[in-house]
Amino acid sequence: MTTPAGAPRRAPRRVHVIGIGAGSPGHVTGQAVAAMREVDVFLVADKGSAKDELVAVRRGICEQFLADGTYQLVTVTDPHRGPDAERDSAAYKAGVDAWHRARADRYAEVVDGLPEGAVVGFLVWGDPAFYDSTIRIVDAIGERTPLAVSVVPGISAIQVLAAEHRIVLNAVGQPVHITTGRRLVDEWHPDLGAVVVMLDGALACRALLDRAPDLVIHWGAYLGLPQQVLRSGRLADVIDELVALRGALRAEHGWVMDTYVLTLPADAPG
Ligand SMILES: C[S@@+](CC[C@H](N)C(=O)[O-])C[C@H]1O[C@@H](n2cnc3c(N)ncnc32)[C@H](O)[C@@H]1O
């Protein structure tokens, strides 16, 4: 293949974006394993020591499903991310955009340095479709160097939360709304149905109690991991315990990831 100018044009590099589930090797699907077996080099973001366990889980999944010596796992230091919690929405979005660009630059550099024909893999926590920037970053890398991308779905923390609590998220024929802790208080309305909240570092749901004292919460931390913790109940009854527990877990493990769903009982007033 040649470019119009006569210079050789490289075939697009194959990239697999693979959902690996929320932490348990049991979440890794057959489709994910098949894609992993095609990968030569896995690129894993190194987010600093507190999140070493997230790299270790990915490493463990590779060791469990792949033969030694058939792949490489390369960690790429994550660019510094600004103080999101202190930013308003516009500054938050600009900060995230800049961070994505910086990440894409870094990955593009690594990808360009790989041998021609090497297949690249990204092991995405949960499912790549929920609050994960990998597909966007891979698209941005693709603007810098030609890529042929495939995406494998994974089991999201949302599904694990529902399964571990043995609940259906939606009431019969009703919607499910997925949002972040940052947006919850502005967005919440009974018509949203079940509201799943991710990326909430401060259990923002407490602020809803005045408006909706009957809310019920199903909460889970480290879903699918050995240290998984579940709690549920009337939000008003359990919120103090949850805030204290979340703080204690974070102190114990150095990091915490939790997801919850808020519902109103069918017989709640209004
Ligand atoms: C960057 S998002 C990634 C979501 C992921 N793509 C998914 O499908 O689950 C990170 C958020 O997902 C949730 N999360 C991911 N893994 C979790 C786990 N094992 N237990 C509890 N929450 C989890 C938390 O709300 C966390 O703040």
Atom nearest to 197 CA in ligand 1 = 25
Terminal Cα distance for the chain, rounded: 67
| Ligand 1 close to Cβ of residue 224 (< 6 A) | yes
The DSSP H or E segment spanning 35 is helix 30-38
Q: Which pLDDT score, from 0 to 100, does residue 203 have?
A: 98
Encode 234-252: b = buried (16+ Cβ within 10 Å), e = exposed.
ebeebbeebeebbeebbee
Question: Which CA distances in Å does 18 have to 36, 111, 154, 190?
Answer: 8, 17, 7, 35
- Of 116 and 248, more confident: 248
Q: Which pLDDT score, from 0 to 100, does residue 171 have?
A: 94
Q: Which pLDDT score, from 0 to 100, does residue 186 have?
A: 97
Residue 82: pLDDT band with limits 50, 70, 90: low
Phi-psi bin for 222: left (phi > 0), alpha (psi -120 to 50), beta?
A: left
Q: Which pLDDT score, from 0 to 100, does residue 102 have?
A: 86
Cβ neighbours for 86, distance < 8 A, ≥ 6 positions apart: none
- Ligand 1 centroid vs 219 CA: distance in angstroms? 12
- Ligand 1 centroid vs 125 CA: distance in angstroms? 7
| Helix %, strand %, coil % of the chain (to 5) | 40, 25, 35
Q: Which pLDDT score, from 0 to 100, does residue 2 have?
A: 44
Q: How many CB atoms lie within 10 A of CB 30?
A: 7
Query: Phi/psi of residue 180, each to 5°?
Result: -110, 160
Q: Which of 69-78, 157-166, 170-179 bottoms out in mean pLDDT, i.e. has the lowest?
A: 69-78
Q: Which pLDDT score, from 0 to 100, does residue 101 have?
A: 83
- Ligand 1 centroid vs 57 CA: distance in angstroms? 14
CA dist 162 and 159 (Å) reads: 5
Q: Is the pLDDT of residue 51 over 70?
A: no
Q: Report the greatest alpha carbon distance in the chain.
A: 73
Q: Is the pLDDT of residue 27 over 90?
A: yes
The listed range with the strongest mean pLDDT (66-80, 132-146, 199-213) is 199-213
Q: Where are the beta strands (DSSP E) in 59-173?
A: 72-77, 120-124, 147-152
- Mean pLDDT rounded to a whole number for the chain: 90
Average pLDDT for 61-75: 95
CA dist 185 and 127 (Å) reads: 25
- Of 178 and 48, more confident: 178
**Arch. (CATH architecture) of 158-263:** 2-Layer Sandwich (3.30)
Residue 139: pLDDT band with limits 50, 70, 90: very high
Whether the Cβ atoms of residue 65 and residue 27 lie closer than 8 Å to each other: no
Q: Is the pLDDT of residue 251 over 50?
A: yes
| Ligand 1 close to Cβ of residue 249 (< 6 A) | no
Average pLDDT for 180-205: 97
Per-residue pLDDT tens digits for 6-17 = 555 678 899 999
Residue 5: pLDDT band with limits 50, 70, 90: low
CA dist 137 and 170 (Å) reads: 32
Residue 3: pLDDT band with limits 50, 70, 90: very low
Strand partners, 17: 122, 151
Q: Which pLDDT score, from 0 to 100, does residue 91 have?
A: 78
Q: Amino acid identity of 183?
A: R
Q: How many CB atoms lie within 10 A of CB 18?
A: 28
- Ligand 1 centroid vs 235 CA: distance in angstroms? 21
Average pLDDT for 169-194: 97
Q: Is 171 exposed, middle or buried (0-12, 13-18, 19+ CB in 10 A)?
A: middle
Average pLDDT for 183-187: 97
Average pLDDT for 15-34: 96
What are the residue ranges spanned by the domains of the chain?
13-155, 158-263
Whether the Cβ atoms of residue 44 and residue 74 lie closer than 8 Å to each other: yes
Q: Which pLDDT score, from 0 to 100, does residue 84 have?
A: 63
CA dist 172 and 220 (Å) reads: 23
Q: Is the pLDDT of residue 49 over 70?
A: no
**Arch. (CATH architecture) of 13-155:** 3-Layer(aba) Sandwich (3.40)
Q: Which pLDDT score, from 0 to 100, does residue 1 have?
A: 44
Q: How many CB atoms lie within 10 A of CB 64?
A: 10
